């Protein structure tokens, strides 16, 4: 698609060129536990080799950040499965420890020039939203991911105790996305914020950044991870 002008990513391509084109790939690299120093003049294949990252997963996710949805059945190995779960867990750390506190900080700065009562309500709205998100991420970290991991480690596998529901999963995501949309609607269309424009812009950019990464995150979980879990469950005779 030419609207975004983004490249379809292949293993032999240089990472630097792709980042010049789409800087959100830097964030994706962080979710793979890679910093800027990993880029240099290396191709994707070299970066994955040097850092023991599954090439297939890295390439597919880079394409997802560039706007291309992976086709069915691209993943099947345990190594890919483990890489995906690590990627998702690290994204959780980014949401919890960096992105939400950052947005919360911008909201507090709105007190300076706006009605305190309204900003207090926004803070309350955001805190409740954040509590919901934390609960969902906590569910994934403490229930869903350990269960997924147990599927591929025979010794830990416990067939009777299957705590995971793909439907709950999807409902959580829908709710998180719709609250984020409300927040943007309030700021952009309804609140008529006063004061420092730079803070308003940073706040909104931050919300959009979060939204973009959350969208990709849900897409990975719903279209790649959950089908993969189902496939492994079937092969082990769970369902």
Interface mask (CB under 8 A) for another protein, residues 119-148, using x and -? --xx-xx--x--------------------
Closest CB to another protein among 146 and 227? 227
The pattern of x and - marking residues 202 through 221 that bind another protein according to CB under 8 A reads -----------------x--
Task: Count CB-CB contacts under 10 A for residue 148.
Answer: 22
Residues between 103 and 122 that touch another protein (CB under 8 A)? 117-118, 121-122
Tokens at residue 47, please?
């970066």
Q: What is the pattern of x (binds another protein, CB under 8 A) and - over residues 44-73?
A: --------------------x--xxx-x--
The residue (of 128 and 196) whose beta carbon lies closer to another protein is 128
Nearest CA-CA partner of 91 in 50, 136, 131, 48: 136
- Alpha carbon distance 157, 230 (integer Å): 15
Q: How far is it, in rounded angstroms, from Cα 187 to Cα 124? A: 15
Write down the least CB distance from residue 1 to another protein, Å.
5
Closer residue to another protein (CB): 144 or 180: 180
DSSP one-letter code for 196: -
Site for another protein contains 27 (CB under 8 A):
no
SS3 of residue 33 by DSSP = coil
- The torsion of the CA quartet 198, 200, 202, 207, rounded to 10 degrees, works out to -170
How close are the terminal C-alpha atoms of the chain, in Å?
39
Chain-centroid distance of CA 189 in Å reads 26
Q: Is 41 in the site for another protein (CB under 8 A)?
A: no
CA–CA distance, 166 with 138 (Å, rounded to integer):
16
Residue from 38, 82, 186, 204 touching another protein (CB under 8 A): that is: 186
* CA 163 to chain CA mean position, Å: 22
Q: How far is the CB of 51 from another protein (least distance, A)?
A: 26
Least distance between another protein and beta carbon 18 (Å): 16
- Binding residues for another protein, rule: CB under 8 A, are 1-3, 64, 67-69, 71, 117-118, 121-122, 124-125, 128, 178-179, 181-183, 185-186, 189-192, 219
């Amino acid at each position: 698609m030419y609207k975004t002008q983004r490249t379809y990513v292949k293993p032999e391509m240089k990472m630097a060129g792709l980042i010049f084109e789409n800087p959100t790939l830097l964030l994706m690299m962080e979710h793979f536990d890679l910093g800027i120093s990993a880029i240099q003049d290396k191709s994707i294949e070299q970066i994955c080799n040097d850092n023991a990252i599954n090439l297939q997963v890295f390439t597919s996710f880079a394409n997802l950040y560039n706007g291309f949805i992976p086709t069915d059945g691209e993943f099947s190995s345990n190594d890919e499965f483990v890489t995906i779960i690590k990627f998702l867990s690290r994204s959780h750390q980014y949401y919890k420890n960096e992105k939400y506190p950052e947005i919360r900080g911008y909201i507090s700065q709105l007190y300076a020039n706006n009605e305190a009562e309204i900003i207090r309500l926004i803070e309350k709205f955001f805190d409740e939203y954040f509590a919901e998100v934390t609960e969902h991420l906590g569910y994934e970290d403490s229930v869903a991911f350990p269960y997924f991991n147990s599927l591929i480690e025979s010794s830990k596998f416990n067939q009777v105790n299957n705590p995971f529901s793909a439907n709950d999963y999807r409902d959580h995501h829908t709710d998180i996305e719709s609250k984020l949309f409300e927040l943007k609607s309030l700021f952009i269309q309804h609140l008529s914020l006063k004061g420092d424009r730079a803070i308003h812009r940073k706040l909104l950019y931050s919300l959009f950044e979060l939204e973009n990464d959350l969208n990709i995150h849900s897409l990975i979980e719903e279209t790649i991870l959950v089908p993969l879990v189902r496939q492994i469950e079937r092969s082990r005779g769970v369902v």
